[in-house]
Structure 1
C-alpha cells in the first residue's frame, strides 16, 4: 500500500477486449501497466504490493520469473486470471506461485475484491434489500440461500423460475443446458435485475447472458464472498432499483469456462 492507495500492477494483453474489461474494473486504483508479459528481473521497476496477471497460456519461462519475484524480499500478492487454453497441469504448477486463480470470463465482477478494494458501505441493511433466489438444484440452492442469510440478506426461494416474486433482484442458477435459457433470462431482465450463476461460464456463455440482460455473471462453483461482494455493490444504495433493460440490444461483456477453480490463501 502507498498511503491509502493500493500499490497495484497489471500485466495482460490490453488489445483483447476481455483483458481490457478486466483492467477497466480496477482502473480507478491506477494500476501500473507491465505489458503482456512479465519483464525480466528488475526491468519493471519497484515490486508492487499486488500483481494482477491475465494469461491465456502459462509458460515455464514466466513461471520461473514469477518464482524469483515471489522469493524476493518484497514478494507481492499475485492474482492470476486464466484463459480457456491453460491446461490443468499448468494451472496446478502455477497455483503454488500465486494467491488466487480466477477464470477470465467472470473475473471482472470480483477482481476489485481480490486486489483489496473494499466493498461499498452497508448504509442500508441487507434485510431491507429484497432478493429472490431461483435454483432448480436443491443442494446448491440451500448453500446459496445459507450464504445470503449469513451475509444478512433475507432471500426468498423460488425454485427455477427467475420471474416469480415481487423482488427487484434475483440470483438465478441458469440452466445453461436448456436451449431457451437466454430467452428466459431476457424475459426476467425486463422487470428485475438478474445475477446469473453460470456453469460452463466461458466467454461465449457470459457474453450471451449479458446480451440477454444479466447485470452480473458469476461462475459455478461460486465463491460465497464473491457473490456477496457483487450483491452489495449492486444493491447498496438506499434508492437502488433493478434496471429495466431492453434485452433486444446486446451489452458488451465486462471482463468460468469450467476450468478447475484453484485458490490458495
Structure 2
C-alpha cells in the first residue's frame, strides 16, 4: 500500500456494460489489466493492495495462476465477482484462493465496501431512523431486524407488504416468483425508497427491479452488513441532500407548513 492509498487492479471484460459499471463503482482509480484473464507473465505493482476479478466462467488454469500469485504475495486481497455460468465445482476451487466472492448482479452495490473504500464515514443517527422491513420469511426477518437495530435503525416489520407505513425507506424481500412483483414494487417506489432483496438475483431481475423503481438491489441470502452499508449510503446521501436544499431555501419549509395548514380543513 502506498501511504494510505489503496491501489486496485481490475480484470474483466470492460466491453460488457455490467463489468464497466462494476469498475466504476470502485471509488478510487483502478488499473485495468489487459485481457479477460490474468496474463501468465503479469507482474503486479509492489504497491498493489487489492485485485478485483470479474469472471463469467472460471478456469482451472487461471486458478492455478492466481494461487501462485497469492503465494508470492500473501498480503494481496482478491475479490472475485462471478457470473451465472460458473459451475459449483469451479466456484468451490476458486473460493479457497480469494478473500471475497460476490455475485455479479448485485456486486455494484457493495464492491466499494469490500475493496476498502467506503463512500462515507458511518454516523449513527442521534435517534433510531425508521425503516420498514417487509419480509414474509420469519427467520430472515428476525435476522435483518436485529442487524438494523444494532446499526441504529428502527425497523417495523410488515409481512411481505412494501406499501404500508409512514417510513421513507422499506427493505423488501421481493417474492420474485409472484407474477406481479414488479408492479407492486413500482407502486411502493412512488412514495418511498425501496431496497429490493432478490432471491438468486440475476441481470434480468435486477434490470426489472431497477426499472420498477428500486433504488438498490441485493441478493438473497443477504449479508446483513451489506444491507447496513447500502442503507447507510442511501440515507446519508438523502439527509445531505435535504440539508443542502434547506440551506438554499431557508424559508421554504415554514412557508410550506403555513400553506398546508391554510389548505387543511379544521
- The answer to whether TM tops 0.5 is yes
| Alpha carbons of structure 1 residues 10 and 191: separation in structure 2 relative to 1, 3 Å | same
User: Does 2:19 align with 1:31?
Assistant: no
| Number of corresponding residues | 240
1:144 CA drift (Å): 0.9
Structure with more strand by fraction = 2
| Alpha carbons of structure 1 residues 43 and 119: separation in structure 2 relative to 1, 3 Å | closer
| Alpha carbons of structure 1 residues 75 and 167: separation in structure 2 relative to 1, 3 Å | same
Distance 2:241 2:140 in 1: 27
Per the normalisation by structure 1, the TM-score is 0.86
Contact 1:195-1:217 at 8 Å conserved across structures: yes
| Alpha carbons of structure 1 residues 71 and 172: separation in structure 2 relative to 1, 3 Å | same
Coordinate RMSD, CA, aligned: 1.7
Distance 2:232 2:187 in 1: 24
Corresponding position of 1:180: 180
Distance 2:75 2:82 in 1: 21
1:129 CA drift (Å): 2.5
Corresponding position of 2:171: 171
Distance 2:139 2:45 in 1: 49
Q: Deviations over 1:73-108 (max 9, x none)?
A: 454100000000000000001111100110000001
1:3 CA drift (Å): 1.9
Alignment of 1:41-120 (within 5 A): 41-46=41-46, 48-73=48-73, 75-120=75-120
Corresponding position of 1:261: none
Gaps spanning 5+ residues in structure 2: where? 243-266
| Alpha carbons of structure 1 residues 153 and 127: separation in structure 2 relative to 1, 3 Å | farther
1:66 CA drift (Å): 0.2
1:41 CA drift (Å): 3.2
| Alpha carbons of structure 1 residues 38 and 127: separation in structure 2 relative to 1, 3 Å | farther
Q: Residue 58 of structure 2: SS of its match in structure 1?
A: coil
| Alpha carbons of structure 1 residues 47 and 57: separation in structure 2 relative to 1, 3 Å | farther
Distance 1:179 1:164 in 2: 20
Distance 1:232 1:47 in 2: 30
Distance 1:190 1:93 in 2: 44
Structure with more helix by fraction = 2
Alignment of 1:118-137 (within 5 A): 118-123=118-123, 125=125, 127-137=127-137
| Alpha carbons of structure 1 residues 127 and 136: separation in structure 2 relative to 1, 3 Å | farther
1:218 CA drift (Å): 0.3
Per the normalisation by structure 2, the TM-score is 0.86
Contact 1:133-1:156 at 8 Å conserved across structures: yes
| Alpha carbons of structure 1 residues 92 and 152: separation in structure 2 relative to 1, 3 Å | same
| Alpha carbons of structure 1 residues 236 and 85: separation in structure 2 relative to 1, 3 Å | same
| Alpha carbons of structure 1 residues 139 and 124: separation in structure 2 relative to 1, 3 Å | closer
| Alpha carbons of structure 1 residues 111 and 33: separation in structure 2 relative to 1, 3 Å | same
| Alpha carbons of structure 1 residues 47 and 239: separation in structure 2 relative to 1, 3 Å | closer
1:122 CA drift (Å): 3.5
Distance 1:47 1:60 in 2: 27
Q: Deviations over 1:134-154 (max 9, x none)?
A: 111111111111110111111
Q: Deviations over 1:166-225 (max 9, x none)?
A: 111000000001000000000100111000001020111111100101000001100111
